[in-house]
Amino acid sequence: MSSIKIFSGSSNRPLFEKVCEHLELTPGQMTVEKFPDGESFCRIEEDVRGKDVFIVQPTCRPVNDTLMELLVIIDSIRRASAARITAVVPYFGYARQDRKDEGRVPISAKLCANLLECAGANRVVAVDLHSAQIQGFFDIPLDHLSASPILDSYILELGYSPEEVVVVSPDAGSIKRATKHVTTLGGNLAIIDKRRHSGSEVEQAHIIGGPIEGRVAFLFDDMISTGGSICGAARVVKNKGAKKVIVAATHGVLCGPAIERLVEAPIDQVFLTDTIPLLPEHRIEKIKVVSVARVLADAIKCIHENRSISQMLSRMGSTGQYF
């Protein structure tokens, strides 16, 4: 591992430090700051010539700042003659703008992919992209990791039997994700009919599948943004007789009224990963944060050693460990 260097911007230092601990590597020394006018600046404080360099930087809030910071870091390392640059982007911002759903709008996810490539990234690692098809936006290799086994491992520790469980997909787009959780957790599958009226307003009315009554309902999604969808889904299953409602999501975007909605919703517990750092004002009793650092560290090691990421993922057990 002597030829590897690992750096991070300012967006999620706690996650970066955990990844370094798992890899038993010293964090790379780098200065990242802003000029008085808000421009991002980066200076690499050690030699990276000929090194295999990894940059851990989710493009979370403030999204434009963290994205630009990542691009500046990549450019700095490219100009310092690194052998290979891998951008580890646990949360890929702009991922929801992945298609033209109306006239005269951008496909911003594709634009971000182009920017990473132009800056000099040779490879990208991401966790639970909002749409798996975003992988096709890149002309460089992209390793798409999943936090589902880690979330499942914590849920299994709650001790519910498969007969008690119903896994609920909050919308039709999450059915495939929910089906994978059913395979691990057992129980039945239910799907909520969700209709979106605007970016922040959704309507949930009907449930397909089940049964719900008397069961512990687990709702899985890739992210919680304003909380409207997941809280609405929680109310639907609670009204249908669920005895408990537990929510799990990879990315805790938690913007706008999300925390207030989670507090008021009939949700017993929320599991989130640390792809996005939890702000102090977002720390409520319902939320439990679990770490994806081990997954990222194992992926980094596989890439550095030119081993198969697919084989690594296939060996990932229900405890979130690799065997």
Give residue-wise pLDDT tens across range 147-169.
999 999 999 999 999 999 999 99
- Label residue 318 by pLDDT band (50, 70, 90): very low
Q: What's the CATH class of domain 148-290?
A: alpha beta
State the average pLDDT over residues 58-85.
98
What is d(CA 110, CA 161) in angstroms, rounded to the nearest whole number?
Answer: 43
What per-residue confidence (pLDDT) applies to 205?
A: 62
What per-residue confidence (pLDDT) applies to 112?
A: 98
Q: In what order do the strands lie in the sheet with 4-8?
A: 4-8, 52-56, 84-89, 123-127, 142-145
What per-residue confidence (pLDDT) applies to 199?
A: 53
Per cent of the chain over pLDDT 90 is 85
What per-residue confidence (pLDDT) applies to 319?
A: 47
Write the CA distances from 141 to 53, 124, 258, 301, 305, integer angstroms.
15, 6, 34, 16, 15
What is d(CA 20, CA 155) in angstroms, rounded to the nearest whole number?
Answer: 26
Mean pLDDT taken over the chain: 93
Whether 322 has a pLDDT exceeding 60, the answer reads no
Residues annotated as part of the active site: 194
Token pair 């697919």 in the structure block, residue: 310
- Residue 183's SS3 state is helix
Tell whether domain 4-147+293-314 is in CATH 3.40.50.720.
no
Q: Do the domains spanning 4-147+293-314 and 148-290 agree at the CATH topology level?
A: yes
Give residue-wise pLDDT tens across range 179-208.
999 999 999 999 998 666 555 555 666 788
What per-residue confidence (pLDDT) applies to 198?
A: 59
What per-residue confidence (pLDDT) applies to 217?
A: 97
Per DSSP, what are the bridge partners of residue 223?
251
Give residue-wise pLDDT tens across range 71-82.
999 999 999 999
Per cent of the chain over pLDDT 70 is 93
Token pair 């609670």 in the structure block, residue: 238
What per-residue confidence (pLDDT) applies to 168?
A: 94
Q: Backbone phi, then psi, for 16, in 5-degree steps?
A: -60, -45
- Burial (CB < 10 A; 0-12, 13-18, 19+), residue 113, is buried
Give residue-wise pLDDT tens across range 95-107.
999 999 899 999 9
The tokens for 259 are 């925390």
Give residue-wise pLDDT tens across range 246-302.
999 999 999 999 999 999 999 999 999 999 999 999 999 999 999 999 999 999 999
Domain ranges of the chain: 4-147+293-314, 148-290
What per-residue confidence (pLDDT) applies to 317?
A: 56
State the average pLDDT over residues 51-60.
98
State the average pLDDT over residues 211-238.
94
Q: What is the DSSP string of 108-159?
A: HHHHHHHHHHHHT-SEEEEES-SSGGGGGG-SS-EEEE--HHHHHHHHHTT-
What per-residue confidence (pLDDT) applies to 312?
A: 84
